[in-house]
Structure 1
């Protein structure tokens, strides 16, 4: 059992870290580079994306023939963690959600024609994308079998009517993957479709205000009132929508974990530097036992989160679905990110609560981690089912 990265992957990790330090963190530090939604503005983002491409750090997750760098999941775990030491990091490398998961799905299951039309522009950075699945009550959320958006066959085309919400990135997306019901079959009743922003028959009802900060394009509510989609833009086959969702969401959940460990480490990085220089009662805060307990406990939880994430990444690289491993990582990392942000703010005092650091940004962002891509309680249900099925084998080494 070897916990050392192969030299090639370690080299990528180091290069990503150096790029974040030299190029992204200085941009993050200047609030003039932020947009009105507390993310990086388009102009500095375009500059950083150009530099990331020139550095050979663009789209690490896709095979080289698809325009990426061909890194395995264990390499992505190490590199995504480094990217998200900056709150603006992943999008600069074309590694942010939802594009990350959408590119992976399109590359894995799309036809060659679909890849040219829908995938290549995302890979090149010309457009962004969104994945339209979640619906308001009584529609589908964590349980996609409840989906109510319907696609009906009319005159040789699919006509969509329905309602989606909290669709990440929809405000700026050009390419969309849409899940809709095509029959009432419990396993084969959903189908995945591809459509373009400029097609008629749908609209963005609103950009939903959130606790924030927001990803690019926000989290939007969509209304479909007659969107027409041709057969050539059905992803996989009719009835394969649930399968497409499963293919996409497992790795996507884990890439969230990879990025969030980087944010958790950034919290401790800021707090650690502060407690070493800030003095109280005649000594640095770092010398107080209570402060040491807080730092040590959080550092340990981050390491547990990293190890669970890497274990799941290794299982994916072996060709397994890794549902149990991904769920464990998702719960642990989400909890750890919130704990790290809260601990760092507590240690930095009023400075941490202010906007003199990015800690308050991370604190607000972290709360969503226990909700997106399956609430923590849903993942615990997955783990319970696994344990009841496997018994003592739940803790096997292979």
Structure 2
């Protein structure tokens, strides 16, 4: 496997690194730049987005004809990691969840008319979006076969009834992708729909308070009571919802990991800087063996995560679904992020627990990583099931040609 990157990808990485250093980190250090939910205020965000567009660093993940830069998944891994050196980074470059995953799946699965109506405004940054799939008990979560929200065909429309919750970004989303049940067929029973915030027949019941900082629009509970969606707004076709979720969620899990690696590296950066500055018992913290062991272990775990992410990204670029590769990366990097934040706070002491650094922000954010897009235990069960099927072939290398 060739681990070198192209000069083009390196150029993007270097320009992103400079942009983050010069434009975003100074703003991140200003508490006045934060909104009430711990994210960047819109009046600070939009000027940065304009600069990112002007410098050709906008929507790197999309094809040029869509309005992006055409990076493959390996290139995205390099650039997303660099973007998330700052907690504000991904949203500045229009590469933050959930818009990131929604744009990629619309680009891949949408009709020309759907792309013009639903994708183009997202690419231009004029609207935000949400992906409405998860339901309260006893509805669907990690197991989509349990989905209870229904879509009943009535002429040229579908009528939606049901409830969703923890829908990221819903509070500010204009465009939604909705998963609903159209039949009891175990493989062809789900369908994906597109709808607009201004359509009647649904409401946001509440914005759910959470432990960590929030994406713009929060995490909301939605109620559907007669929402009518025209048949032309079915995405990929009736009964193809399970396929659509596979197309969207696999790459989205991996892009989470790409970004989390950037945050993990930032934790090490903050910890190392403080350890070199702080004296205790006659010597710098950085000289103490316990500190060196902690930082050395984190460096190794981050590099393991980078290798797992790169292998999964490479497999996706080769046309594979990369299910086991993505599951391994998801479990490892989610736990790594929590460990990196925890270790950095420990080294910084009370300073790390305060808001003087972004470590406490990252720590609160990190706990969700082991839950979103499939809990650790679900991914480990997927891996065991794959192992039971493939046995020793689980660990084989692909052969060129």
- Determine if the TM-score, normalized by the shorter chain, exceeds 0.5: yes
Partner of 1:278: 278
- How far apart are the structure 1 equivalents of 2:397 and 2:56? 36
Secondary structure of 2:65's match?
helix
Q: Give the Cα–Cα distance (whole angstroms) in 1 for the partners of residues 311 and 192 of structure 2.
A: 30
**Which residue of structure 2 aligns with residue 207 of structure 1?**
207
Give SS of 1:387's match: helix
CA-CA distance at 1:160 after TM superposition: 0.3
1:375-386 superposed matches below 5 A: 375-386=375-386
Q: CA deviation at 1:156?
A: 2.7
2:396 and 2:276 mapped to 1: Cα distance? Answer: 42
Alignment of 1:130-169 (within 5 A): 130-169=130-169
Distance in 2 (CA, whole Å) between partners of 1:196 and 1:139 is 23
Q: What are the Cα deviations for residues 52-100 of structure 1, in whole angstroms up to 9, with x where unaligned?
A: 0001000000000000000010110010000000000000000000000
* Structure 1: segments with no counterpart, 5+ residues: none
Aligned residue in 1 for 2:28 = 28
Q: Normalising by the residue count of structure 1, what TM-score does the alignment of the two structures yield?
A: 0.99
Q: Aligned-pair distance for 1:382?
A: 1.0
Match of 1:328 in 2: 328
1:262-273 matches, cutoff 5 A: 262-273=262-273
Per the alignment, residue 53 of structure 1 pairs with 53
CA distance in 2, matches of 1:27, 1:354: 18
Separation in 1, partners of 2:372, 2:302: 20
Segments of 5+ residues of structure 2 without an aligned counterpart are none
Alignment partners' CA distance in 1, 2:101 and 2:328 = 19
Map 1:358-369 → 2, pairs under 5 A: 358-369=358-369
Alpha-carbon distance, 1:155 to partner:
3.8
TM-score by length of 2: 0.99
Deviation for aligned residue 1:109: 0.7
User: Which residue in 1 is equivalent to 2:118?
Assistant: 118
Distance apart, 1:154 and its partner CA:
1.9
In the alignment, the residues of structure 2 paired with residue 280 and residue 157 of structure 1 have an alpha-carbon distance, to the nearest angstrom, of 70
Q: Kindly provide the CA deviation profile for residues 275-311 of structure 1, in whole angstroms up to 9, marking residues without a partner as x.
A: 0010111110000001111111111111111110011
Question: Aligned residue for 1:86?
Answer: 86
Post-superposition CA distance 1:3-57 (Å, at most 9, x none): 2211111111111111100111011111111100000000110000000000100
1:176 aligns with 2:176: yes
Partners of 1:362 and 1:316 lie apart in 2 by 28
Deviation at 1:196, TM superposition (A): 0.1
Partners of 2:315 and 2:16 in 1: CA distance: 24
Q: Give distance in 1, aligned partners of 2:289 and 2:394.
A: 38
Count the aligned residue pairs.
Answer: 398
Give the superposition deviation at 1:201.
0.2
Spell out the pairing of 1:60-75 with structure 2 (5 A cutoff). 60-75=60-75
* Separation in structure 1 between the aligned mates of residue 395 and residue 285 of structure 2, nearest angstrom: 40
Counterpart-to-counterpart distance in 1, 2:219 and 2:41: 17
Q: How far apart, in 2, do the equivalents of 1:116 and 1:244 lie? A: 19
Q: Distance in 2 between matches of 1:147 and 1:205?
A: 19
1:327-378: per-residue Cα shift (whole Å, max 9, x none)? 0000000010000000000000010011110000000000000000000110
In structure 2, how many angstroms separate the alpha carbons of the residues matched to 1:371 and 1:307?
A: 22
User: Cα distance, 1:208 vs. partner?
Assistant: 0.1
CA distance in 1, matches of 2:121, 2:17: 27
What is aligned with 1:7?
A: 7
Residue 139 (structure 1) shift? 0.3
Partner residue of 1:237? 237
Shift in Å at residue 391 of structure 1? 1.6
Q: Which residue of 2 aligns with 1:261?
A: 261
Separation in 2 of the partners of 1:160 and 1:38? 33
Deviations 1:115-161 (A, max 9, x none): 00000000000000000000000000000000000011124311000
